[in-house]
Amino acid sequence: MSSSNLSFKDKVVVITGAGGGLGKVYALEYAKRGANLVINDLGGTLTGSGHDSRAADIVVNEINSKYSKMGAKAVPNYDSVNSDGENIIKTAIDNFGRIDILINNAGILRDSSFVKMTPEHFHSVIDVHLNGAYKLSRAAWPYMRKQKFGRIINTASPAGLFGNFGQANYSAAKLGLVGLGETLAKEGYNYNIMVNSIAPLARSRMTENVLPPHILKQLGPEKIAPLVLFLTHDETKVTNSIFELAAGFYGQIRWERSSGQIFNPSSENYFTPEAILNKWSEITTFDDKPFNKTQHPMQLSDYNDLISKAKKLPVENDQGSIKINSIKGKVVIVTGAGGGLGKSHAIWFAKYGANVLVNDIRDPNTVVNEINKLYGEGTAMPDSHDVVTQAQFIIDNALKQFGHIDILVNNAGILRDRSFLKMKDDEWNSVIKVHLYSTFAMCKAVWPVFLKQKSGGSIINTTSTSGIYGNFGQANYAAAKAAILGFSRTIAIEGFKKNIIVNIIAPHAETAMTKSIFGEKELANHFDVSQVSPFVVLLASKELQDVNSKKGGVKGQLFEVGGGWCGQTRWQRSGGFVSTEQDITPELLKAHWNEVTNFKSGTVTVGSTEGSSMAILQAVQKAQMSKISSTASHDDNESSSSSNGSTTFNYTEKDCILYNLGLGSTRNELKYVYENDPNFQVLPTFAVIPFMKSSMESFNMDQLVENFNFTMLLHGEQYFKLPKLPLPTSGKLKTVSEPLQVIDKNGKAAVIVGGYKTYDTKTNKLLAYNEGTYFIRGAHVPKEKQKLDPSVRSKFAIQKFQSPTNKSPDFEIEVTTSEDQAALYRLSGDFNPLHIDPFVAKSIKFPKPILHGLCTMGISAKQLYEKFGAYDELKVRFSSVVFPGDKLKIKAWKQPNGIVIFQTIDSNTNQVVLDNAAIKLTNPTSKL
């Protein structure tokens, strides 16, 4: 091993679930670098049943036989992580005398839709993933503190970060691990204990039955191990961080909190749901404001500063024009409502006309009497059942008292704060049960009620800033609250189509629970519980969903609220680093660490497991395409791309034939398919091929716009001009590109127009000029980055070509595409899997792969070329998709000055697929 390689000689590593998959790969990689290892594996099935020591033994034997010369030694352990976690750490101490690195990797799956998920399925997954990681970490902690060195990796998942259908238990456990990790990172920092979380999408027993083989091939666990090794090396000081990784992509993910909106909270008459709704867009806009900035925090907001500024505003907050009437007549259950936030929520719902079941295990009657005195007898009813063990009784009581249920607010909770070194198992377990298990139990019990109702229902679950960011002395509370967030995001996905709306709040208020941890400033500012409840009422309202209906409603969202301030919190991912190398090493990641953690450009706002996974795979695919293109066009030791925004493109007669075949040319058209034909030529639309390559490599779109996501990119329009015809059938070309326009579309999308000049490198003459227009959903362009000048565009490119509705076409033809058309066309340079891979297509909601828009354009333009002759300008708008095998109907109308307007319709779907389209003939009179 080179001295520059990261060595783990004499380090003691404990890996749970190391009998296969990720855990086994980790173990072998550590062994290659001289580590001593405890290989833990219960040897059970994927669902956690059974026990077999062979899995661990096989790995141990392989390490001891292959890597003992490197100084590595391995011992097995067969204990269960959740019931006997201490014994796993004891195995390390007994055999090696210390524990340096802990990889919490063991896991099981018990996937099912939430309506079918049993408490046993929920608890078993929490036990193995979350409680197991607690047990191991707690047992290792004293040794790591004493030796002032430790490295812990918690294995999260995209399902935990974003939620995922059918994985409410898994999502809860995996985000709970993040909350635990964030807290341990804060408590361990002064002792050189670095704690991080990874969210891998890797090939393992858990994914092999979910993803197709060709995708799995890219997701080998060997691409995950390098990051784990880098993060756990003694030279690495990275801590309290989360990373998403797969298939050679490595990116950091962090919280992003909006600047939000402040309201004067002094008067309950004016700090209302209506006032908050009136400023909703300000709450969810991630722009800096005079009173606050958009932040990427590791702790809660500066509420003392925010409430001070809020109280300087006029007391009479603007109430707007929309009155919240939808709460009237609704039935609301509020747990833990005997005091504090729960009591305040109950009173506010009653104030807006709701009937309230006040649940509290101690004394619900005092609050019930207060509400009934204010709003009428029978408005509120008491319930004293235990939220953990008697959730169904609470639901049955509400139905008995009021006949239906519309809103559930899960608020009940306890604190058992303790430094992790001193934390007892019962303190951990009690907090997990009261917060997480009760939230599951209550949601599970009310779910069938909501499903039966046409009106559905609303659930507001309570997390905490400790759960979002971690907090010293609250490992149990942070884990439970983070788990609630992960759980809520999954049931929000499952419930939305059934009109069950789920959202999450992280309140900041002075209660009996928080008073002991509030400082003097917080107590002086008196963060009243009534400063949170108006937001909760608004979240449960129909009016909020109506206002946001064009954006898909408000569901599965996280909000921080308190002291007159309301803000939204979401995930943001770095641009990341992609390696297309077969063998990726920790040393490679070390060399590219600034790219892994780069948030200065290329950041992505990700909101779903599907979107995250597709964005990662697209980034990898883009890197692979770039590598393929670079290799294919490498000539005379000259690179295919350069730092000045230009790319080179080499082609021969073979490429021309392949392109012509991709547009439907046949063996009967020798001028398109036979290089020795005296009229051999390439179709004019070949001009887009060098552009197509350049558009992927020339300028970085992710640097032009904020929140760029490759999966959200649509090719909207295409234009080209040919200075001279015909195009040569071979050559070496250079394309120089620049962004012409960068436009923000009301903060909801961005438009980028690129200009591409393609030259013959021998003559330096311009062969083609292209303009491509791209629409990126969800992206945003700051004012300083916008380019708006339309004068830089070609006039033909921005001219509108409306298909005549009062005139029959001068030319009409129907062409049947081949079912293999997309497979053939992509060989001309665009290797986007969307055009060949059924899995990728379905991930983007297409039933099967689609035809490239430029292929549809080329097929249509070929027919126009045959009918009208040569043209030197073409412009189209892509308005819908075409599936290979569909019939295309091309209609054309002759216009003055050699212009032919055309439109292409997919006869199978009756959708216009090319519109606002025209060609300009080089000889206007010949065929017109």
Query: DSSP letters of 679-746?
Result: T----GGGGHHHHHHHHHHSS-HHHHSBS--GGGEEEEEEEEE-SSSSPPSSEEEEEEEEEEEEEEET
- HSE on the CB side for 483, CA within 13 Å? 32
Q: Domain 12-246+600-627 has what CATH class?
A: alpha beta
pLDDT at 387: 97
Closest CA to 293 of 257, 255, 256, 259: 259
* CATH fit for domain 257-571, picks 2.60.40.420, 3.40.50.720, 3.30.1490.190, 3.30.70.1450: 3.40.50.720
- 332, 439, 577 from 434: Cα distances, Å: 20, 8, 41
pLDDT at 292: 97
Catalytic pick among 24, 73, 174, 330: 174
Helix (H) / strand (E) containing 832: none
CA 369, CA 528: separation in Å to the nearest integer?
A: 21
**Orientation angle between helical segments 21-32 and 225-232, nearest 10 degrees:** 50
Closest CA to 26 of 245, 227, 244: 227
Chain mean position to CA 49: 32
Token readout for 919 is 């060609």
Low-confidence ranges of the chain (pLDDT < 70): 1-3, 43-52, 202-218, 511-525, 625-646, 693-699, 709-711, 843-844, 924-928
Q: Do domains 12-246+600-627 and 811-921 have the same CATH topology?
A: no
Q: Looking at the domain that runs over 648-798, which CATH code has it been given?
A: 3.10.129.10
The dihedral region occupied by 97, where left means phi > 0, alpha psi between -120 and 50, and beta the remainder, is left
Give the bridge partners for 900, in sequence order. Answer: 894, 919
Rg value, the chain, Cα = 31
Strands (E), 514-583: 558-562, 565-573, 577-578
CB atoms within 10 A of CB 300: 17
In contact, 336 and 359? CB cutoff 8 Å = yes
Give the bridge partners for 918, in sequence order. Answer: 875, 901
CB atoms within 10 A of CB 372: 16
Helix (H) / strand (E) containing 817: none
Spell 229-242 as b/e; 16+ CB within 10 A means b. Answer: bbbbbeebebbbbb
In contact, 767 and 733? CB cutoff 8 Å = yes
CA 895, CA 899: separation in Å to the nearest integer?
A: 5
Chain mean position to CA 408: 27
CA 512, CA 475: separation in Å to the nearest integer?
A: 20
Which residue stretches of 41-103 are H helix? 54-66, 81-96
Domain boundaries, the chain: 12-246+600-627, 257-571, 648-798, 811-921
User: Alpha-carbon dihedral of residues 64, 66, 70, 76, nearest 10 degrees?
Assistant: -20
- Strand, helix or coil for residue 44: coil
In contact, 167 and 159? CB cutoff 8 Å = yes
CA 349, CA 326: separation in Å to the nearest integer?
A: 11
Provide CB contacts within 8 A for 756, sequence distance 6+.
Answer: 690, 691, 694, 695, 698, 735, 736, 737, 769, 770, 771, 772
Catalytic pick among 26, 30, 143, 170: 170
Give the bridge partners for 739, in sequence order. Answer: 754
pLDDT at 644: 43
Closest CA to 242 of 285, 316, 179: 179
Backbone phi and psi for residue 325, each to the nearest 5 degrees, phi listed first? -110, -10
Chain mean position to CA 369: 46
Chain segment 886-917, per-residue pLDDT in tens: 999 999 999 999 999 999 999 999 999 999 99
Q: Classify residue 312 by burial, with Cβ atoms within 10 Å: 0-12, 13-18, 19+.
A: exposed
pLDDT at 694: 59
* CATH fit for domain 811-921, picks 1.10.3720.10, 3.10.129.10, 3.40.50.300, 3.40.50.720: 3.10.129.10
pLDDT at 697: 54
Return the DSSP state at 529: G
170 is catalytic: yes
Amino acid of residue 615: A
